[in-house]
Amino acid sequence: MELNIKSHHKLIKKVYLILIVVICISFLFIGKKYIIYPIGEFFEPKHTTVEFRLKEIDLGKLKKGEPKEVCFPFTNTGEYPLIIKHIETSCNCAQTNWNKQPILPKNSGEIRIRHNAKKIGHFLKTILVFCNTEKGMVDLRIKGKVEITSKTGREQKLVTP
């Protein structure tokens, strides 16, 4: 009986030791941004720099219900591949499209934004590009005015109180 209790205590000590080691290792990874490639390799992306030709585009006057697409061209001006992790828009009225592959240094790419002109009036929308730059993101903007047009093609003024 005494032998069984000693082996049980040794087993509990081993389990606690393994648990402590796992917790300590997990603390090393908290707050790190790792990329997982399909081959299963982990690496922490190096910071690079990106230059957008334009950070704000004026879409001008849009007809209600007619979407418009714009393009934000950019160049990776850094020494490491540019990785666009994801892009967020300030509303559901703008959809994004971009190449999901890393952009090599000195190469260019583009982010396409499609704005669905559903609400009448002026708009200013923000697009946040999350990538491996020092700041961690780049903010872009689109603006314009959505107007309603009659069947004759003449613009109707929006009456506001």
Instruction: Residue 14: give the domain boundaries.
Output: 2-43
57 and 131 share one domain: yes
**Predicted local confidence at residue 30, as pLDDT:** 57
**Per-residue exposure over 49-88, b if at least 16 CB sit within 10 Å of its own CB, e if not:** ebeeeeeebebeebeeeeebebebebbbebeebbbbeebe
Which run of H or E residues covers position 43?
A: strand 42-43
**Predicted local confidence at residue 2, as pLDDT:** 54
In a domain, 158, yes or no: no
80 and 98 share one domain: yes
- Of 10-24, 48-62, 119-133, the range with the lowest mean pLDDT is 10-24
